[in-house]
């Protein structure tokens, strides 16, 4: 919220206060991190500031906005899949080499 509200930012404390009905002192506390809105006030802030406010909170929890991940839902990470397959094949090759009995390279 501190990147969105305050002097030189998109929203002023007084303007946001008028639109949400939350006093300026509380808004300043929320922006500085010394206060936390209850659910009702958070919903009023969200209605005015939009989803960008929720994204900041989501980032604190480690959740990334979908637009940062350009792959469609359910898409495979082919590079990761390739690495996993390579590692799995190396394990299988090692297991096969151990099971060869030395008579013509045939598995036992």
Burial profile 21-39: b = 16 or more Cβ within 10 angstroms, e = fewer: ebeeebbbebbeeeeebee
Decide if 28 contacts 13 (C-beta within 8 A): yes
36-47 pLDDT, tens digit per residue, is 899 999 999 999
pLDDT at residue 6 tops 80? yes
Q: Where are the domains of the chain?
A: 13-68
pTM (two decimals): 0.54
50-89 pLDDT, tens digit per residue, is 888 887 777 767 777 666 666 666 777 888 899 999 999 9
Query: Cβ contacts of residue 98 below 8 Å, gap of 6+?
Result: none
Among the listed residues 63, 30, 33, the one whose alpha carbon sits nearest the alpha carbon of residue 45: 30
Please state the rounded mean pLDDT for residues 23-34.
92
Please state, as a whole number, how many other Cβ atoms lie within 10 Å of the Cβ of residue 73: 6
Confidence bin at 19 (pLDDT 50/70/90)? very high
């Amino acid at each position: 919220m501190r990147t969105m509200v305050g002097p030189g930012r998109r929203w002023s404390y007084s303007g946001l206060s008028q639109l949400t009905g939350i006093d300026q002192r509380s808004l300043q506390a929320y922006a500085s991190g010394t206060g936390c809105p209850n659910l009702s006030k958070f919903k009023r802030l969200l209605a005015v500031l939009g989803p960008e406010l929720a994204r900041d909170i989501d980032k604190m929890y480690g959740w990334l906005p979908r637009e940062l991940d350009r792959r469609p839902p359910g898409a495979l990470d082919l590079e990761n899949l390739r690495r996993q397959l390579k590692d799995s094949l190396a394990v299988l090759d090692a297991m096969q080499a151990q099971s060869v009995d030395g008579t013509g390279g045939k598995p036992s």
